[in-house]
Amino acid sequence: MVNFLFHLLILMGIYTILSVSLNFMLGYGGIISICHGAFFGIGAYAGALISLKLGLPFVVEVVLAGTIAGLCGVMVAGPTLRLDEDYMSLATYAFGVIVFTVLNNWHSLTRGPLGLPGIPKIHLFSFVVDQLWSFACLVILFVAITIFCFTSWVRSPFGKVLTAIREDPVAASAVGKNVASFKIIATLVSTFFAGIAGVLLAHYLTFIDPTTFVIQESFVILGMVVFGGMGTILGPIAGALIMVFIPEALRFVGLSSFYAAHLRQLLFSALIILILLKRTQGLLGKEI
């Protein structure tokens, strides 16, 4: 039971990092992204490969993997900056599938569908994180860092400009803001943190394969943000907590894995549709 709680905590933490980071670029920046899971995956694979092949210190690995994810984010954001929303959703959807295709087919790098097993434990300075509780502490640390960073940014002038850009990019440039630059920076940090979440997952599961990062995963993360409330600070956190809890609880209660996976998807998609229909601002969103 205790182990289950730690497991829950770890997953909730990882998804909180994902939803909070996505919320920054989507909820505050208005940058449409339905491929956040792709950066999650890129970070996971980058981290796994770095620790398997290069054995760099954990802190370096995290920063490096995050940077790789961040740069990929910029690579997508750059050309798609001026696209209108419809095409942006299509382009990011396409990117998500492309990343999965690459992960699944670049056998020499990722071993394709076989995945990467045996991801080593985290060595933090002289401490080996090999207990569930210590891993949970590490995750909580990262979650705290994430929430601190994004909350500061949201409340800072940077965040206000970002929100202004979301509201009206033309007006934002009319008051002297370099809209493209703000959007790219926002995307960079968002995807950077998604990459970090991926590193944590990789070390937690010790085995990753492409099926963890299919396009549905991006949708789950998007769902957490939308459900919890886009453009608020607590919204994505609540969304992540709730939407990780439900399927895990079902699994704990003994529902077979087969049904759990399908029900999870059923539930998620139904919840998203319902929340968009009935309460577009999400659970904790403000109705202005």
Q: Which residues bind to other proteins, rule: CB under 8 A?
A: 32, 34, 79-80, 82-83, 85-91, 93-95, 97-98, 100-102, 104-105, 149, 152-153, 156-161, 163-164, 167-168, 170-179, 185, 189, 215-216, 219, 222-223, 226, 258, 262-263, 265-266, 268-270, 272-273, 276-277, 280, 288
Least distance between other proteins and beta carbon 216 (Å): 6
Cβ of residue 194: shortest distance to other proteins, in angstroms?
16
Could you identify the residue written with the tokens 């961040």? Answer: 70
The answer to whether 82 and 204 are in contact (CB under 8 A) is: no
Provide, rounded to whole angstroms, the least separation between the CB of residue 164 and other proteins.
5
Q: Which is nearer to other proteins, 52 or 90 (CB)?
A: 90
Q: Least distance in Å: CB of 16 to other proteins? A: 19
Instruction: Residue 197: name the closest of 238, 251, 139 by CA.
Output: 139
Q: What's the min distance (Å) between Cβ of 123 and other proteins? A: 27
Identify which of residues 90 and 137 has a Cβ nearer to other proteins in the complex: 90
Nearer to other proteins, 131 or 178 (CB): 178
Query: Which one, 3 or 84, has the nearer CB to other proteins?
Result: 84
164/173 Cα distance (integer angstroms):
10
Q: How far is the CB of 99 from other proteins (least distance, A)?
A: 9
Q: How many residues in total does the chain contain? A: 288
Write 131-140 long-range contacts (CB < 8 A, 24+).
132/3, 132/6, 132/7, 132/10, 133/6, 135/6, 135/10, 135/203, 135/204, 136/6, 136/9, 136/10, 136/13, 138/200, 139/9, 139/10, 139/13, 139/14, 139/200, 139/204, 140/9, 140/13
Choice between 11 and 225, CB closer to other proteins:
225
* C-beta closer to other proteins: residue 109 or 266: 266
